[in-house]
Structure 1
Amino acid sequence: MDVERVRLRPWADSDFWLLGRLNSPEMTEHLGGPETEAQLEARHRRYVGLESGRMYRVESAGRGETVGSIGFWGREWRGEPVWETGWGVLPEFQGRGLAALAARAVVEAARAAGRNRYLHAFPSVDHHASNSVCRKAGFTLLGEAEFEYPKGHWLTSNDWRIDLDEA
């Protein structure tokens, strides 16, 4: 059986095109909808210059094709500093388990970065695929939370967490 693998590549200036591909209505349905070109450019600058955490372009290790993005970044959650993660897999690569593989890889990257004990993911309660990724990647469901994303847009999310101090 040929098991597909992924490789995480640090986000680079040349990866702006991927934000455009991930900005479709179907890909942003659970995130408040597509962003403007100016918002995408600002996001790209944040990704390239991220000082707390790291963004990645996800490649299929077998073929070297770009399949999506994932990353982790610092934030405060319920009074403590934590890492947060989020991802997107291009439609033509969905359904292969690549997001869960990338999530497992980003757990290891966040663990190696140190600094914070917990890594959280906050998918919408209605985003079944992303909630499944959290389960498959070993996150623990803590419950529902009201979450603001993007700014000014409130949604009910699941709060998934993984303890980076546990092996």
Structure 2
Amino acid sequence: MDTSSLQLVPWAEDDFWLLLRQNEPVMTEHLGGPETEAKLQERHQRYLALSAREPAAGRVFRIVAGSGSVGTIAFWERVWKDEEVYETGWGILPEFQGRGLAAQAARAVIVHASVHGARRHLHAFPSLGHAASNAVCRKAGFVLLGESEFEYPPGQWHTCNDWRAVLA
């Protein structure tokens, strides 16, 4: 697979299949487990709505490498420790993991948010035990600020690492 041609393609109506694939237990282990199909439909509608808003509000992207889709990445607005920031998250399908695609996509999101965004910082909050996502943050150029308590999904608190990238 040629990873030099990685592209971020805005989320579209036909991308629901990616949510189904990312809902597998191996993909949701650090996110509270699989969701119902109804929840996935709600998520799909939120992704479509976010990507239809002005670019500074955030975006959801399908990650394309070579000739196929390999996962998703997004950034969205939030308030963190009294600061208006962006948060990011990603998911690479199991058969494409370990190839540097998530770090490459994270660097591309940093550039996109820098160009189109209106906030100074982009944060990622991987759980302490998620070595791969913490490595993605490091490889993408985020700076580790330390551990924080984080609520995700709603009602479930866990300790995570707070990684931050400064947007140009």
For normalisation by structure 1, the TM-score amounts to: 0.94
Give runs of aligned pairs for residues 1-167 of structure 1, distance below 5 A. 4-50=4-50, 51=53, 52-60=57-65, 63-165=66-168
TM-align CA RMSD: 1.0
Find the aligned partners of 2:17 and 2:7 in 1 and give their Cα distance.
18
Find the aligned partners of 1:9 and 1:131 in 2 and give their Cα distance.
24
For structure 1, list consecutive stretches of 5 or more residues without a partner in the other structure.
Answer: none
Say if 1:23 and 1:34, in contact at 8 Å, map to a contact too: yes
Change over 3 Å in CA distance of 1:3–1:56 after alignment to 2: closer
Find the aligned partners of 2:152 and 2:80 in 1 and give their Cα distance.
14
How much does 1:3 deviate? 5.6
Say if 2:58 and 2:117, in contact at 8 Å, map to a contact too: no
For normalisation by structure 2, the TM-score amounts to: 0.94
Task: Please identify which structure carries the higher helix content.
Answer: 2
Count of residue pairs the alignment pairs up: 162
How much does 1:4 deviate? 3.5
- % identical aligned pairs: 62
Query: What letter is aligned with 2:7?
Result: R
For structure 2, list consecutive stretches of 5 or more residues without a partner in the other structure.
Answer: none
Runs of 4+ deviating beyond 4 Å:
none
